[in-house]
Structure 1
Amino acid sequence: MFWQGSSVVRALTLAGRPVHEVLERQVPKLARRLVRGFAEQIPLYRRLPREELDGDITAITEHNLRLIARVFRDRRPPVRADLAPLRESAARRAQEGVPLEALLAAYHLGARMVGERLFADAEPGDLDDVLEANRIILLYMESATAAVCTAYLEERESLLSQEQHAMHATVAALLGGDRAALAGVRPAPRYLVLAVAAGRHPDEDGPGGAIAGRRKLRRIRTALQRHAAEPVLPALDTSGGLVLVPLQGDEPVAGELARAAGEAAGAPVWLAVECAPPHEVPAAARLAEEVLDVVRIFDRPPGAYRLADVLLEYQLTRSSEATAALAGLLDPLLDNPDLLRTLKAYLETGLDRRRTAELLHVHPNTVDYRLRRAVSLTGLDPVDPAHLQRIGAALAARRLTGPR
């Protein structure tokens, strides 16, 4: 019996001995046994340095055992000050990159091993005390795991915040061409500069759309990271942005990047791709963004694009009086949208009148009639190679100068 406040509390006993005294007497020996169990049954602990197992891990295990003994004695859960060493230890494990699941596995394995060791010699008359001791161990584990998880996650959040700040600073310095800001950074020899546009995932239009957008963004980053040997440097929001992929060896296949990103996003993804050494990243990023704009303006399908893929369209987007003049070549067709639509479909199908008719859901004779009318109004005949080039350029210019 002992006093707790103004009441008398009976000590828990096993085989006639107080449980807390049984545990206190074997703390050093039991702690070493538990640590051996961690190394044998938890793969991550098996890879830890011996000095860490014999040092920090054994020390915090001994503290836990003494704290459990005190909880047995006082019949109350530990207070915040008692758990301070557990929080400090969890923060150190977070700094070392030990996964939280491995840390919690050690606590639960330790609790199980303590119970097995303590209750091995229990007698039939100890049943009530064994049940009470198990209840107390569970209460202790609630307090301990809450403290460990909170400290671990707070430390990881702090570390990630620092990493993200450094990453954002590196991206800003590379994109801004700020060599002074890169003084303490070792850039990659080359970067694959990706301008990214992402369509909306269906879940973004429902409740929790903002969360769905962030999840889509995370999946895109993860998909791109799988194709890179070093951490990618993103500057993205839910609609797209820029990603810098450090290159040490061969350049990943851009088409595979686009497919992987689209599959991960569950939405269409367009990539414009340029490759550049660090000092040329700002120019490469500007070019990639311009190419991506061209791709979207001209309704190219999702995928990966380089400047060579959109040379004509890119040139048409440069400021020039010729662009408006080219678009004006088809102005005579504006009063009859069917003519313009038929001419466009005719070019898209490779001058195949039957496929054009199928595409427009009309008879081939109707296609022939509309094409003759378009030729008579514009003076441009798609059968003439010289006229065909002008018609294609005019259609591209009209797409550029028309409503987007």
Structure 2
Amino acid sequence: MTESAAEWASPVDVRATYPGLRPVRDTPSEAADFLAEVRSAGEKWADGHHGDVVSVLLEAAGDDPELAELVRGSGSIIEEFLEGFRRNAVKPQKDLAADLVAGREVPKSVLHGLAPRYLVVIARGSVAEQFTGVPDEIAGPGVLSTSHDGDLVLLVPDTDAGRRSRITEHLAGRLDGNGWIAVARRGRAKLADGFREAADVLRLVAAGRRPSGMYSVPDVLVEYAVIRHQEVAQNLVDVIKPLRAHTALWETLAALIAADYNRNKAANDLFIHRSTLDYRLQRIASVTGCDPTSGRGVQVLTAALIADSVR
């Protein structure tokens, strides 16, 4: 029976199939209520032994002899029941976490069996490369894991703040100064949106060469706003585009940002004299129109470099 037939079947259909039977209910709404009860019983049925179906439906019929007769003799009623069962049947999930973060449809019974809210965790670096699982005494039940483009993805039930902290602290401790963790919080029906947010945060901290650690949107508010506004992002890319023709200047700006604007450290990281660094910064100002030695210039150039890196 098709879905539309199952949903719109009426007492008239049953009487046409079984003309010898009197109407089992005086109004269509009562008959519809009975069919709804049948569908509900089918959705809850988990035994899998078809020989028990009639017994279950006879209980639904109660003391009404006409309903009991329908249960015994009506193939359409049995089909309604089995249709409900098939709709709610749970197929094995090869990678439930991957399906959830990708926004793929999962059976409602599976979705309803999940925690109400989750912490979406994406880890990149040594913790992702060497991940063998969060110890049971730390993770507890219900943590889902998968991988995405080499990154580790965890869905941590967001029902216990202490447990959530233990897991994130465990992962942060395993970064060993190499890589980042990005997190976002969402309800179980919006995990794909949470994954996109955490992935954006991870892209931003990687592009900005932030120190190894754990980050969320509040840590990258300016950059996050930029990439969410395509016109602004493109304008910033245009600002920094001329540096593409000057490899040394591009590397100098990247080193300055990575050094958190400490010019002595940037010069050491580049293995150049401080005066050479200062000259290059002047050239960057000339090429881009933004002075990397000023607060505003650094802000614009940093946002531009990140916008170029994540586009």
TM-score with structure 1 setting the length: 0.45
Q: What CA distance in whole angstroms lies between the structure 1 residues aligned with 2:254 and 2:231?
A: 23
The letter of the residue matching 2:160 is G
1:142-221 to structure 2, matched below 5 A, reads 165=92, 168=95, 172=99, 176=104, 178=106, 180-182=108-110, 186-198=113-125, 216-217=130-131, 219=132, 221=133
Per the alignment, residue 73 of structure 2 pairs with none
Q: Does 1:233 align with 2:131?
A: no
User: Do the aligned partners of 1:231 and 1:246 also contact (CA within 8 Å) in 2?
Assistant: yes
Q: Does 1:258 align with 2:174?
A: no
Q: Which runs of 5+ in 1 are unaligned?
A: 1-163, 202-212
- Judging changes above 3 Å, is the alpha-carbon distance between structure 1 residues 328 and 235 closer, same or farther for their aligned structure 2 residues? same
Most deviating of 192-201 and 339-348: 192-201
- Judging changes above 3 Å, is the alpha-carbon distance between structure 1 residues 358 and 188 closer, same or farther for their aligned structure 2 residues? same
Per the alignment, residue 272 of structure 2 pairs with 362
- Could you give the per-residue CA deviations for residues 11-49 of structure 1, whole angstroms, max 9, x where no partner exists? xxxxxxxxxxxxxxxxxxxxxxxxxxxxxxxxxxxxxxx
User: Do the aligned partners of 1:228 and 1:246 also contact (CA within 8 Å) in 2?
Assistant: no
- Give the % identical residues: 27
The letter of the residue matching 2:118 is Y
Per the alignment, residue 292 of structure 2 pairs with 382
The number of residue pairs the alignment matches comes to 219
Question: Could you tell me how far 1:256 is from its partner in structure 2?
Answer: 1.0
1:114-129 to structure 2, matched below 5 A, reads none
1:4-403 to structure 2, matched below 5 A, reads 165=92, 168=95, 172=99, 176=104, 178=106, 180-182=108-110, 186-198=113-125, 216-217=130-131, 219=132, 221-223=133-135, 225-236=136-147, 239-251=150-162, 252-253=164-165, 255-262=168-175, 268=178, 270-318=180-228, 320-401=230-311
Question: Could you tell me how far 1:284 is from its partner in structure 2?
Answer: 1.7
User: Do the aligned partners of 1:197 and 1:240 also contact (CA within 8 Å) in 2?
Assistant: yes
User: Do the aligned partners of 2:180 and 2:213 also contact (CA within 8 Å) in 1?
Assistant: yes
* Secondary structure, counterpart of 1:326 in structure 2: helix
Q: What CA distance in whole angstroms lies between the structure 2 residues aligned with 1:173 and 1:242?
A: 11
- Judging changes above 3 Å, is the alpha-carbon distance between structure 1 residues 195 and 355 closer, same or farther for their aligned structure 2 residues? closer
- Judging changes above 3 Å, is the alpha-carbon distance between structure 1 residues 324 and 227 closer, same or farther for their aligned structure 2 residues? same
- Could you give the per-residue CA deviations for residues 341-367 of structure 1, whole angstroms, max 9, x where no partner exists? 333333443444333322222222222
Question: Could you tell me how far 1:307 is from its partner in structure 2?
Answer: 1.6
The letter of the residue matching 1:308 is P
- Could you give the per-residue CA deviations for residues 71-106 of structure 1, whole angstroms, max 9, x where no partner exists? xxxxxxxxxxxxxxxxxxxxxxxxxxxxxxxxxxxx
- Judging changes above 3 Å, is the alpha-carbon distance between structure 1 residues 290 and 231 closer, same or farther for their aligned structure 2 residues? same
User: Do the aligned partners of 2:243 and 2:287 also contact (CA within 8 Å) in 1?
Assistant: yes
User: Do the aligned partners of 1:190 and 1:247 also contact (CA within 8 Å) in 2?
Assistant: yes
Q: What CA distance in whole angstroms lies between the structure 2 residues aligned with 1:379 and 1:344?
A: 17
User: Do the aligned partners of 2:97 and 2:155 also contact (CA within 8 Å) in 1?
Assistant: no
Q: What CA distance in whole angstroms lies between the structure 2 residues aligned with 1:227 and 1:199?
A: 19
Q: What CA distance in whole angstroms lies between the structure 1 residues aligned with 2:264 and 2:173?
A: 36
Q: Which runs of 5+ in 2 are unaligned?
A: 1-90
The letter of the residue matching 1:258 is L
Question: Could you tell me how far 1:394 is from its partner in structure 2?
Answer: 2.0
Q: What CA distance in whole angstroms lies between the structure 2 residues aligned with 1:260 and 1:345?
A: 26
- Judging changes above 3 Å, is the alpha-carbon distance between structure 1 residues 270 and 371 closer, same or farther for their aligned structure 2 residues? closer
- Judging changes above 3 Å, is the alpha-carbon distance between structure 1 residues 313 and 327 closer, same or farther for their aligned structure 2 residues? same
Over aligned residue pairs, what C-alpha RMSD do you find?
3.8
TM-score with structure 2 setting the length: 0.56
- Could you give the per-residue CA deviations for residues 170-228 of structure 1, whole angstroms, max 9, x where no partner exists? 87468546572337x54324322223435599xxxxxxxxxxx8xx44x1x234x4422
Q: What CA distance in whole angstroms lies between the structure 2 residues aligned with 1:168 and 1:386?
A: 46
* Secondary structure, counterpart of 2:292 in structure 1: coil
